[in-house]
Amino acid sequence: MKLLTTVNDLQFEIQQLGAESQVGFVPTMGALHAGHISLVKQAVKENRIVVVSIFVNPTQFNDAKDLERYPRTLENDMHLLEPTGCAIVFAPNAKEVYPEPDKRKFNFGKLEEVMEGKHRPGHFNGVAQVVSRLFDMVKPAKAYFGLKDFQQLAIVKNMVKQLQLPVEIVPCAIIREKSGLAMSSRNELLTEEQRKNAAVISETLFKAKELKAQNSVQEIVDWVTETINKNPFLDVEYFEIVDDEQLQPVKNWEKDSTKVGCVAVFCGEIRLIDNIVF
């Protein structure tokens, strides 16, 4: 497994390996955990070689403090990746990714007006900038994204369509801690007590799914919000039940589309997201 930091080295290495147009790609911001590793393992199974990028992308952070405290653990990341069969770890610096400031403005219409798009202005524009830049560098045949970032996945798929990129986007299941808490690099920033209490988020989502049959969408929305907010460590920013294509809030359980409940919760200063398919 090679650690590379420049686009030149990356493209030379892919060529040396004779793997052009056969690359599986897993973009990450590092501080890797079993959630990331599951994406990498799936990619290794399905591609000739796998490139994992580690880059904390400044353009997708709408909160300077969040960017500053985002965990950076390259050495440990390398240890976790070594046994997976990943061929290349690409860890560029910001100048390498953005030799010039990226001034592109994407338009994702309604997709970016809800949930993460609404609460983190500019976030998805930054995601689209970095993912399109990285795709341009890695030129993957397939790229792997976690369903934990459900709206991000929809945005990336939409971007690929808009730019007509020759890459298949592969969605991957949410990996959870034993407690049910969705794995996240940000979990590392929680105290032990906060982390224990954060498990209430997924517990509530699972329970909501059981309660679906006897309750309206609005009743479930209210119940989830109240139940999580009752925990003194947790503060719900939003909980919405949306259709899985346009990501617009739904009013009833009619079977015309799959419904997904998406939540963002502050645990102290740390913002956590999760979702569940109803």
> Any bridge partners for residue 211, and if so which?
none
Contact status: 89 vs ligand AMP (CB under 6 A): no
**Cα separations (Å) of 47 from 5, 30, 165, 219?**
22, 21, 18, 45
What are the two backbone dihedrals, phi and then psi, of residue 247, each rounded to the nearest 5 degrees?
60, 35
Element (H, E) at 26: strand 23-28
- Which of the ranges 75-83, 183-191, 210-218, 232-240 carries the binding residues for ligand AMP, by CB under 6 A? 183-191
To ligand AMP, the closest distance from the beta carbon of 95 in angstroms equals 20
- Which of the ranges 29-37, 84-92, 158-166, 233-241 carries the binding residues for ligand AMP, by CB under 6 A? 29-37
Figure out which of the listed residues 132, 184, 197, 227 binds ligand AMP, where binding follows CB under 6 A.
184
Strands 168-172 and 234-243: unpaired
Nearer to ligand AMP, 202 or 231 (CB): 202
Query: Which position's Cβ is nearest ligand AMP?
Result: 146
What are the two backbone dihedrals, phi and then psi, of residue 93, each rounded to the nearest 5 degrees?
-95, 175
Element (H, E) at 65: helix 64-69
Contact status: 148 vs ligand AMP (CB under 6 A): yes
Establish whether 79 is a catalytic residue.
no
Residue 98 has which token pair? Answer: 């953005």
Contact status: 29 vs ligand AMP (CB under 6 A): yes
Q: How many helices (H) and strands (E) does the chain have?
A: 10, 9
Figure out which of the listed residues 87, 131, 137, 172 binds ligand AMP, where binding follows CB under 6 A.
172
Q: Point out which residues bind ligand AMP (CB under 6 A).
A: 28-29, 35-36, 39, 145-146, 148-149, 172, 174-175, 182-185
